[in-house]
Amino acid sequence: MSFVNQNIKPLNTRVNETGNLEISGCDLVELAKKYSTPLYVMDKSTLEKMANDYKQAFSSYKNTRMMYASKALMTSAIASIFYKLGFGFDVVSMGEMYILKNAGIDLSHATFNGNNKGEDELEYALLNNIARISVDNFYELELLDSLAKKMNKNQKILLRITPGIECHTHEYIQTGQLDSKFGFDLHKIDEVIDLIQNQYKNLDLMGLHAHVGSQIFETQIFEDEIKVLLKEIRRIKDKFNIELNEINIGGGLGITYVKSDAPPDVYQVADVTIKAIKKYCALYELDEPILYIEPGRSLVATAGVSLYTVGSSKNIEGIRKYIAVDGGMADNPRPSMYCAEYFAEIANKKDEYKPEVVTVAGKFCESGDIIIKDIELNSPKAGDILCVYDTGAYCYSMSSNYNGVLKPAMVLINNGKSDIIVKRQTLKQLVENDVIV
């Protein structure tokens, strides 16, 4: 049995009677015709299944708070879906906070994370009664207390620490090792607590926060992280007589982008996490804390696919054949940024299969604009529709207007119905902030 994050394709993906790929009753070729390409497609049933698996997996630990890591994909519709499923939100900017409010969601359901929060962002969070702020550094500690004092507020905070744990993932998405831009080093915690106790009177310290990275395939790393957090909470209790009862372990569960990927499922992660909390609470004689977890990629990546139209091709005898599509690094920068791998299929012509190894290139003016290198596809020709899987996370979030190309639309599909949840950008919108002097 495989779980959502272990599948390459969304739930209910099949070849329909016309020979086209279909997801949740929606023909992908017809979607491409209706909405044009490039097109982001999000499958609601896949997204909901993964969210409910998270809730079920951690259900035996009653003090769990599920916080969707909004940076993975943040739109008003996506936020609304997670809110209705009982999730809170981990936000990292004023923009993400504003999107929540636009979706009718109060910031009392959100935590604010980040290594260089701006004064305007902190003011916005305080004004809108954000639930928790994960303080990352001494500069922020002083600034937040000053702002809270001016606004006559007491803000509940967590301290983000650097646990000194390295996970086996790409260096750009590691965050828990000692050489990281995120968090307080452990040997600085006493100084922080002394400041909170004696100087920063408008900050209420509730607990500790750590995050070890993204696209994690190891479960042991979560136990290691929990041990560090709870051991530090015990030490703080002994030295400062402070009872901290919240831990935030971040997210990071990996997904299957290509067949060689082998992530654990969410039930395995939950089992390791809950057992570790009980084990180290017993060892350090602590009450079991409130547990915050921040899944992002694993909630939305598998639910999303990107549709492109195949255009030109170039065959270099004995070396490689390139096929180009009408998108690329502006709507999915991950392959160019850190060699991320994807799987794709031609969405039409599924009833006749003539395999051909090609490299899928984007349309942008960079040699590095390669979406997938050396993949076997069904004899791709100009006009075919290419479906790239697992693009629900970090594609729309990281998209840009490079080369002046417009950002794609996004549709939500469910039970044979499709709805626009992000409109395609227009040429007018591209220049609406440009000023001629």
Secondary structure of 379-415 in the HEC alphabet? Answer: CCCCCCEEEEECCCCCCCCCCCCHHHCCCCEEEEEEC
Domain with CATH 2.40.37.10 in the chain: 4-43+301-431
CATH topology assigned to domain 44-298:
TIM Barrel (3.20.20)
Residues facing 385 on adjacent strands? 309
**Cβ neighbours of residue 427 closer than 8 Å, sequence gap 6 or more:** 406
For residue 221, CA distances in Å to 174, 395, 404 come to 12, 27, 42
Tell me the C-alpha distance between 269 and 222, whole Å: 8
365 assigned to active site? yes
Which pTM value belongs to this model? 0.94
Tokens of 109: 């359901």
- Which of these is catalytic: 167, 281, 365, 395? 365
| The residue type at 436 | I
- Identify the pLDDT of residue 2: 81
Nearest to 51 by CA among 61, 59, 40: 59
- Cβ distance 74 to 399 under 8 Å? no
Which region holds residue 325: left if phi is over 0, alpha if psi is between -120 and 50, else beta?
beta
Tell me the C-alpha distance between 307 and 340, whole Å: 18
Terminal C-alpha separation, the chain: 62
> Distance between alpha carbon 417 and the CA centroid of its chain, in Å?
25
- Cβ distance 163 to 141 under 8 Å? no
- Taking the chain (437 residues) in runs of 10, the rounded mean pLDDT of each run is 92 95 98 98 98 98 98 98 98 98 98 97 98 97 98 97 68 50 90 96 98 92 96 97 97 96 97 98 98 98 98 96 98 95 93 90 97 96 97 98 98 98 98 96
- Cβ distance 108 to 86 under 8 Å? no
Q: What angle do CA 302, 304, 307 make, to 5 degrees?
A: 130
- Identify the pLDDT of residue 201: 97
Tell me the C-alpha distance between 360 and 378, whole Å: 13
Domain 4-43+301-431 has CATH 2.40.37.10: yes
- Cβ distance 47 to 59 under 8 Å? no
Secondary structure of the chain in HEC code, one letter for each residue: CCCHHHCCCCCCEEECCCCCEEECCEEHHHHHHHHCCCEEEEEHHHHHHHHHHHHHHCCCCCCEEEEEEHHHCCCHHHHHHHHHCCCEEEECCHHHHHHHHHCCCCHHHEEECCCCCCHHHHHHHHHCCCCEEEECCHHHHHHHHHHHHHCCCCEEEEEEEECCCCCCCCHHHECCCCCCCCCEEHHHHHHHHHHHHHCCCCEEEEEEECCCECCECCCHHHHHHHHHHHHHHHHHHHHHCCCCCEEECCCCECCCCCCCCCCCCHHHHHHHHHHHHHHHHHHCCCCCCEEEECCCHHHHCCCEEEEEEEEEEEEECCCEEEEEECCCCCCCCHHHHHCCCCCEEECCCCCCCCEEEEEEECCCCCCCCEEEEEEEEECCCCCCEEEEECCCCCCCCCCCCHHHCCCCEEEEEECCEEEEEECCCCHHHHHCCCCCC
